[in-house]
């Protein structure tokens, strides 16, 4: 029998239990609601800027409920260099000269020093019909450790003549620095008419034996009517490069760089970047001024000091070549008769080489090549007027020529 007290107690316990269960449910519901509230950063107590689900729904299309969320990509630092990327071609400018002294397929790896013969054959013998004479001259030069031939062609020569010469050079393992005797580029008021050079650059720039193009000689000389200023010479360089970007441009200077450095020209005539890839310096130091033969060593020294230092400072990637005078008039004698230039003796030639390769001049700008001016005469009546290195009596001179080639220079 259940007493009244006992019934009341059981009822009261059930009510308490129900109340406890109800309280637990309320607590659980409250906890679920708190989990959907924005999160506060405990370190800074700044509310997070993360977009809530409601805001995202209002601004973005809904995402699939069963699609996995991808991690946010981390931005990578911008690389300073791009490996294995091809360089973008840079236009040649007067301020930034382009130096690339290796024409396509040319075998220049073995040329640590350019030992250059000026004129393998006279200019009146460079035609296709004289292929045997040209080949014989090249073989003789190669035996003297000549590796480059500086060859001039007359105005009436053709692409066939140029190609024949280059083909023979390639077969004989020689390289060619090619120029025109009577076809210098002409200023037309806006740019240069390149004349035969345009045809040469278009037709033969990629010939494996073509080492360089001798675009102009003594640009500031009066023979060009003083029309070739520094700015225009830079333009001529760019015109050449536009036609044959990989072919070195050779410009010959006599004493012009030195004279400009001393202020003997106006400011529009000076050496500057973007003129030449091969910058050649000459003095023609064995002269007869009317008082007998005279080796003008002082002028040669001053010319080379100023010219080489200027080239190395303003065009550090260019090659520095020099001519060595090894020709002269047959009729020049100590009594002042005959032509202006005389053929030096072997001792004088050795003295000149010692000067050119002296520590003082090499420190100003080391030579990259010597041009023996010249092997053959450019004049038709060679035997009667002009001594050159190819004449039999100058064996001692040719031995010096070979020594420079063998030693890639000269030891004073």
First to last CA, the chain: 140
Task: Annotate 195-224 with b (16+ C-beta within 10 A) or e (fewer).
Answer: ebbeebbeebbebebbbbbbbbbbbbbeeb
**Angle between helices 159-171 and 131-142 in degrees, nearest 10:** 40
Inter-residue contact 288 to 342 (CB < 8 Å): yes
Inter-residue contact 208 to 170 (CB < 8 Å): yes
Q: How far apart are CA 162 and CA 140, in angstroms?
A: 20
Q: Hey, where are the domains in the chain?
A: 114-407
- pLDDT score recorded for residue 329: 87
- pLDDT score recorded for residue 382: 53
- pLDDT score recorded for residue 169: 98
Q: How far apart are CA 303 and CA 320, in angstroms?
A: 13
- pLDDT score recorded for residue 267: 87
- pLDDT score recorded for residue 60: 34
Q: How far apart are CA 403 and CA 144, in angstroms?
A: 8
Q: Domain 114-407 falls in which CATH fold?
A: TIM Barrel (3.20.20)
- pLDDT score recorded for residue 340: 86
> Regarding beta strands 114-118 and 148-153, do their DSSP bridges make them parallel or antiparallel, or are they unpaired?
parallel
State which residues of the chain have pLDDT below 70: 1-110, 332-338, 380-384
Would you say the pTM of this structure is higher than 0.85?
no
Tokens of residue 253, six digits: 């200077």
- pLDDT score recorded for residue 386: 85
pLDDT tens for 234-278 read: 999 999 999 999 999 999 999 999 999 999 988 899 999 999 999
């Amino acid at each position: 029998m259940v007493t009244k007290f006992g019934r009341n107690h059981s009822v009261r316990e059930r009510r308490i239990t129900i109340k406890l269960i109800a309280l637990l449910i309320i607590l659980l519901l409250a906890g679920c609601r708190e989990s959907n509230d924005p999160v506060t950063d405990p370190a800074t107590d700044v509310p997070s800027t993360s977009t809530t689900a409601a805001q995202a729904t209002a601004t973005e299309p809904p995402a699939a409920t069963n699609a996995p969320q991808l991690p946010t990509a981390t931005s990578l630092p911008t690389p300073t260099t791009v490996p294995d990327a091809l360089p973008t071609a840079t236009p040649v400018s007067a301020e930034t000269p382009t130096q690339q002294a290796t024409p396509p397929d040319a075998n220049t790896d073995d040329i640590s020093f350019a030992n250059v013969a000026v004129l393998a054959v006279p200019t009146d013998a460079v035609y296709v019909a004289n292929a045997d004479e040209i080949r014989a001259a090249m073989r003789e030069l190669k035996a003297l450790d000549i590796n480059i031939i500086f060859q001039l062609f007359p105005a009436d020569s053709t692409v066939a003549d140029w190609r024949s010469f280059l083909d023979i050079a390639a077969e004989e393992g020689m390289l060619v620095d090619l120029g025109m005797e009577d076809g210098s580029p002409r200023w037309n008021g806006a740019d240069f008419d390149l004349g035969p050079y345009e045809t040469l650059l278009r037709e033969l720039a990629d010939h494996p034996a073509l080492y360089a193009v001798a675009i102009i000689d003594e640009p500031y000389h009066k023979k060009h009517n003083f029309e070739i200023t520094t700015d225009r010479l830079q333009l001529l360089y760019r015109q050449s490069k536009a036609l044959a970007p990989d072919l070195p441009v050779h410009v010959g200077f006599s004493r012009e760089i030195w004279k400009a450095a001393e202020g003997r020209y106006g400011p529009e005539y000076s050496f500057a970047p973007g003129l030449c890839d091969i910058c050649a310096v000459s003095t023609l130091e064995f002269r007869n001024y009317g008082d007998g033969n005279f080796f003008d060593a002082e002028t040669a020294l001053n010319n080379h000091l100023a010219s080489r230092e200027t080239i190395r400072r303003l065009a550090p990637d260019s090659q520095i070549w020099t001519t060595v005078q090894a020709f002269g008039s047959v009729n020049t004698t100590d009594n002042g008769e005959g032509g202006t230039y005389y053929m030096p003796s072997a001792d004088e030639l050795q003295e000149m080489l010692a000067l050119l390769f002296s520590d003082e001049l090499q420190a100003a700008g080391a030579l990259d090549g010597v041009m023996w001016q010249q092997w053959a005469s450019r004049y038709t009546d060679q035997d009667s007027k002009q001594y050159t290195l190819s004449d039999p009596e100058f064996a001692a001179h040719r031995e010096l020529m070979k020594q420079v080639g063998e030693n890639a220079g000269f030891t004073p």
